[in-house]
Chain A
């Protein structure tokens, strides 16, 4: 079965400090992985994706994610957090058997404090 796990419901970090939001996945075949961000009362916005190539993927707003095949992880990172990064973050994976379907994690709320 295809699945995505985000083990932390909430991550708290001080402004200026590095942040990491964790994601692990289970999928058959080669994983296609995504991060989306959701601001209050808004739809999800695409941040970045891994399909193939370099394990470190760079995305919007200074975010990056590291793909680790042996640990089946795709953690979201940013070297220096901003208060405006506070939002809900979702990891997602494409179904390895049905390329038209996607599975999302439960979401991690990121709180960046001044």
Chain B
């Protein structure tokens, strides 16, 4: 099993550009999460999903949209990137148990 994978690993955007980050898991997990990690601030929840076709807002959802059309995939979209969205983005998934399994992260730089 690959576990949780994220695409791309690194991306540079110009302000105002859009992009989609892809998270895929092969563990048949119901729950999926998108976090951002910034120095000194730990991980903050952007959006999450409790199952295929459902999404919900986390702590810092502004400027992001998500979709969960397939159980194994959770997409994070930036419609108009801003420098404040420069961060490392982590996807995670879990079963009904509480332990989360994290992907390797996507480094995003917005110029």
Contact = CB atoms under 8 A, between A and B. Distances in A.
Interface of A: 4, 6, 9, 32, 34, 36, 41-46, 49, 51, 90, 92, 94, 100-107
Contact of B58 (A46, A90, A101, A107): A101
B34 interface: no
Contacts of A34: 98-99
Interface of B: 4, 31, 33, 35, 40-45, 48, 50, 56, 58-59, 90, 92, 98-105
B31 to A, nearest CB: 7
A45 B92 CA distance: 10
List the 8 closest pairs (A to B, CB-CB), nearest first: A43-B102, A104-B43, A106-B42, A104-B42, A44-B102, A43-B104, A46-B99, A107-B42
Chain B interface helix/strand/loop/mixed: strand
Contacts of B59: 103
A9 B101 CA distance: 24
Q: Which of A100, A104, A105, A106 has the most CB of B within 10 A?
A: A100
Given A44-B92, A102-B98, 7 more contacts: A9-B40, A42-B104, A43-B102, A46-B99, A51-B98, A92-B43, A107-B40
B98 A45 contact: no
Contact of A100 (B31, B35, B101): B31
29 contacts: A4-B42, A9-B40, A32-B98, A34-B99, A36-B102, A42-B105, A43-B4, A43-B103, A43-B104, A44-B43, A44-B90, A44-B102, A45-B102, A46-B99, A46-B100, A90-B42, A92-B43, A94-B98, A100-B31, A100-B48, A100-B50, A100-B56, A101-B48, A101-B58, A102-B45, A104-B35, A106-B41, A106-B42, A107-B40
B56 to A, nearest CB: 7
A34 B99 CA distance: 8
Contacts of A36: 100, 102
Contacts of A101: 45, 48, 58
A107 B37 CA distance: 10
